[in-house]
Amino acid sequence: MEKVLEEIDFLVGDKFDTVYLLNQHSFDVFSDVTLSFLSDISKQLINSPFVRNYPDVATFAFYCRYANLKVIKMNYTSDIKLMIGRGILFHIAPGNVPVNFAYSLLAGLLTGNINIVRVPSNNFEQISIIVNAINKVLTLEKYKLFFSNRLFLVKYNRESNATAFFSKICDIRIIWGGNQTIDDIRKFPISPKSTEITFSDRYSIAIINADFYLKIKDKSKVAMDFYNDTFLFDQNACTSPQTIYWKGSIDEIRDAQEIFWKNLHLILAEKKYELQPISAVDKLTMFYTQAISYGDIEIEPRMSNLIWRIKNNSIHRDIDLYKCNSGYFNEVVISSLDEMTQVISRKYQTIGYLGFPKEELQIWIKNNKLLGVDRVVPLGRTMDFSLIWDGYDLVNILSRKIIIY
């Protein structure tokens, strides 16, 4: 047995046998046993008494329902006749998103692979809930044979050689950023035939059609949606909008902004969102940094330090540098989407939208061949997981297509 294994804490899977693993065959993509395994995990989670405290776990459980997985499979069926897993996946999950590791694993399982997942070192309750559910389902006789030796959830110290070890034996390494983590992990080589997927730091925005917003009856629902996009993860997820582009006439936008932010305030009070003291200092520091760099921004009047709104009097191409968290929003007034085109760099990931017809968005993106933006999502759903992420089709990338002529 390799010495490195002693440094590793196995939350799921205990008999790690490298030689055995390297000789294990992959499963078909979307195999029946995998779908049933995942849906049993889903059931286990939904029935767990803890799940109601963790909407993120509930969302994951909901995603893994048999019915949902079946729909996803249907959308791929035409291609998947000769698609099997690539082999061994080594996932490195981000340290501060409790449930992200589970989605990464989900993608790896659906594509028929052997999975080694490094979970966050933080002791998030969500991790134990999911780990317990998986371990419970693994005790079922019908899955033991299939999964017990090819599914590993691990924790280890920063100093451990485990990253080097897993990197050497994996077929695909999946690194969920930030950039610093990616740079650090890339110091460990993967084998020549192996490949890597990285999810680096990204920047996301929202676009709101003021006129459309003003006509919506349920403003509170919009506020709740926006809260889920931002404050639910301290406005610190890659998908969280940082800048809001308001489209419309000056008067419409002014009215819309007033109602929009007032409603968000109500939601924050209802949710008892707590601002960490240092975040208030961070916002002030970021604001002055931006003020010195741009020279033409203004702070909008505010009720508290929860929501900081920065009025931009012109369009700045490097606005993604002035990104804070926990409620720091740049706002820009535009009269057409075309004004934004020049701003969107490779770093842009998600656009949350409200009040734009899909066709308009399609035409805008198609005509301008934007450098960035991988997802355009209705406001409130920017965090939704999809098997197409950051422009990667995970099912395709994590599997091998075999051609017979």
Partner 1 sequence: MENIEKFKLPEITLFTYDKKRKHEFFLEHMLELFEHHCQYSAEFKMMMSSISYQKKNIKSVEDFPFIPVRLFKIFELASVPRDQVLKTMKSSGTTGQNFSKIFLDKQTSLLQTRILTKIVSSFLGSTRVPMMIIDCESTVKNRNQFSARSAGITGFSLFASKRVFVLNEDMSLNEQVVKQFLEDNKSKTIFIFGFTFIVYQHFYRELLNSLQKFDLSNSVLIHGGGWKKLVSEAVDNVTFKAQLNSICGLRRVHDYYGMVEQTGTIHMECENGYLHTSEYSDIFIRNSNDFSVSRHGEEGIIQLLSLLPISYPGQSILTEDLGTIFGEDDCKCGRKGKYFKINGRLKNAELRGCSDTYGESFRRN
Q: Count Cα atoms within 13 angstroms, Cβ side, for 313.
A: 8
Confirm or reject binding of residue 291 to partner 1 (CB under 8 A). yes
Piece of 27-35, 44-52, 93-101, 370-378 that binds partner 1 (CB under 8 A): 93-101
Q: Which is nearer to partner 1, 40 or 229 (CB)?
A: 229
Site string for partner 1, 171-210 (x = CB under 8 A): -----xxxxxx-------------------xx--------
Q: What is the smallest separation between the CB atom of 241 and partner 1, expressed in angstroms? A: 12
Q: How far apart are CA 49 and CA 349, in angstroms?
A: 35
Strand arrangement of the beta sheet that strand 151-155 belongs to: 9-12, 151-155, 114-118, 88-92, 172-176, 195-199
Confirm or reject binding of residue 264 to partner 1 (CB under 8 A). no
Confirm or reject binding of residue 96 to partner 1 (CB under 8 A). yes
What is each CA distance from 129 to 12, 41, 120, 170, 233, in whole angstroms? 12, 11, 14, 27, 19
Confirm or reject binding of residue 345 to partner 1 (CB under 8 A). no
**388 CA to centre of own chain:** 11
Piece of 37-45, 94-102, 188-196, 250-258 that binds partner 1 (CB under 8 A): 94-102
176: β partners = 199
**Residue 175 near residue 185, CB atoms below 8 Å:** yes
Q: Of 286, 51, 8, nearest to 152 (Cα)?
A: 8
Confirm or reject binding of residue 321 to partner 1 (CB under 8 A). yes
Q: Could you tell me the two tokens for 63?
A: 């995603």
Q: What is the smallest separation between the CB atom of 102 and partner 1, expressed in angstroms? A: 15
Q: Which is nearer to partner 1, 357 or 391 (CB)?
A: 391
Site string for partner 1, 297-316 (x = CB under 8 A): xxx---xxxx----------
Confirm or reject binding of residue 269 to partner 1 (CB under 8 A). no
Contacts by 291-296, CB closer than 8 A, 24 or more apart = 293/321, 293/322
- What are the residues binding partner 1 (CB under 8 A)? 94-98, 176-181, 201-202, 232-238, 240, 275-282, 284-289, 291-292, 295, 297-299, 303-306, 321, 323-326
